[in-house]
Amino acid sequence: MSDTLRFKRVLIANRGEIALRIQRACRQLGLETVAVYSEADADSRHVHEADVALCIGPAAAARSYLDPDGLLLAARMTGATAIHPGYGFLSENADFADAVEAAGLTFIGPTGASIRMMGDKITAKQAMRDANVPCVPGSDGPLPAAMEDVHAVARQVGFPVIVKASGGGGGRGMRVVERAEDLTQAVALTAKEAQQAFGNPTLYLERFMQKPRHIEIQVLCDTHGTALWLGARDCSLQRRHQKVLEEASPPGIAPETIAEIGARCAQACRRIGYRGAGTFEFLYEDGVFAFIEMNTRVQVEHPITEEITGVDIVAEQLRIAQGEALRIRQEDIRLRGHAIECRLNAEDPFTFVPSPGTITRWDLPGGPGIRVDTHVVSGYTVQPYYDSLIGKVIGYGASRAEAIARLRTALAEMRVEGVATNIALHQDLLADPHFQRGGVDIHYLERWLAERTAS
């Protein structure tokens, strides 16, 4: 980077493995780092290695990592002129992004306006429709009053459909309709329930996706009109909406299919003037993609995309924030090999109860194609105040089978003592024949866990 940098010192408004990941990218680009931390994280690795470290509050996130005023004051006191929010915490808080820029600092992420647009499901979906990004087919508004018109909508959307109350939410006020002959009764019943439960009988309907996979597209956009898509990830293995294991590229989906949806995402970014890294999340079933939401930040699972594209996503975020133009073109991006990430949590592998405590032994795996992103060192204490992610083991291989084999060997090499971890769960998943075949849906892991408990 040149001498005319917009910023030379970056405040990392996060903790854990992502704080260290951002710090590494900053150092590789010759940027200084400021670590702000809560009292509970005083002994963190990125805190020791920062150019400036400042304790900004107690363990409670509301008074440290989630305190926008405190973070802005900390930037001022430490001379940082850019803030990287990481993921979680304030990373998708539009008001914070605006406040950072209003203070004359650089927010390493999209504009507050973009974050706000994507944070609201209705405006996000509208923006996607306008940009030709496929959304769940549906009535696109309230159901018409005449029943024959409702039937026409449902036929066009395609059965099965799900009838939902506008005022509903949290799994209430909705009914799945498999066949056209059940539609009339279902609409009448749901409207009545919606009136009673929410005081609003307004309904809409959408295609009901029964066994969708979670497929997402990584994008990277500069401020000079270039928007790239960096392949897709499959994050279908989830428990309680938390991703457990992710892979890139999604097995069994034709590269041309991914390329088409990827190009649409990049086009949508150009259209809305998106800046920085982002992820379009989709449900995917029977060849149909349906937009769910856009994450306007770097994601936990970004390393698998880095492995198959060779692009350092965090470094690119920093360069984009400096105002530089992306040096890679879409045609330079080749998706090579296969990468899988296992999220390691300090938790019981069977009950999932968090297991905070001091890690007394921490032997990491190695060898070709193995990457470990972690802030943990031997003697590190896993705090009970934050999430239990202690690291990510990423396996890369020329083929999916090779990536799996490398990961299984790597996990078998790991020795962790002092806290419980979910390594055993990952080992079981990687050995599972359905997983090995590839393409399981988003309900697979929960079903698999239920069966494991039953047997």
Residue closer to other proteins (CB basis): 52 or 364: 52
Q: Which of 102, 82, 106, 100 is nearest to 34 (CA)?
A: 82
Residue closer to other proteins (CB basis): 59 or 328: 59
Residue closer to other proteins (CB basis): 5 or 73: 73
Residue closer to other proteins (CB basis): 12 or 326: 12
Contact footprint for other proteins (CB under 8 A) = 39, 53-58, 63-64, 69-70, 73-74, 76-78
**Cα dihedral sign, 148-153-158-160:** negative
CB of 89 to other proteins, least distance (A): 17
Q: SS3 of 229, please?
A: strand
CB of 171 to other proteins, least distance (A): 35
CB 110 within 8 A of CB 276: yes
Antiparallel, parallel or unpaired: β 172-177 and 161-169: antiparallel
CB of 236 to other proteins, least distance (A): 41
Task: Give the whole-angstrom CA distance, residue 357 versus residue 89.
Answer: 23
CB of 22 to other proteins, least distance (A): 20
Whether 297 is catalytic is: yes
CB of 6 to other proteins, least distance (A): 22
Residue closer to other proteins (CB basis): 57 or 250: 57
Task: Give the whole-angstrom CA distance, residue 15 versus residue 265.
Answer: 30
Q: What is the DSSP string of 83-136?
A: EE--SSTTTT-HHHHHHHHHTTPEESSS-HHHHHHHHSHHHHHHHHHHTT--B-
CB 215 within 8 A of CB 177: no
Residue closer to other proteins (CB basis): 19 or 230: 19
Both structure tokens of 400: 């999916």
- Cα-based distances in Å from 168 to 178, 191, 417: 21, 11, 46
CB of 60 to other proteins, least distance (A): 9
Task: Tell me how far apart the 2 most distant CA atoms of the chain are, in Å.
Answer: 70
- Cα-based distances in Å from 203 to 128, 134, 292: 22, 21, 19
Q: Treating both helix axes as pointing N-terminal to C-terminal, what angle do 16-28 and 313-321 enclose, rounded to 10 degrees?
A: 60
CB of 128 to other proteins, least distance (A): 39
Residue closer to other proteins (CB basis): 35 or 219: 35
Task: Give the whole-angstrom CA distance, residue 95 versus residue 14.
Answer: 17
Please name the residues in contact with 134: beta carbons below 8 A apart, sequence gap of 6 or more. Answer: 128, 261, 264, 282, 288, 289, 290, 291
CB of 54 to other proteins, least distance (A): 5
CB 58 within 8 A of CB 36: no
Residue closer to other proteins (CB basis): 61 or 370: 61
Q: What is the DSSP string of 26-58?
A: HHHTT-EEEEEEEGGGTT-HHHHHSSEEEEEE-
Both structure tokens of 233: 């990830």
Say which of 45, 297, 319, 343 is annotated catalytic: 297
Active site residues: 297
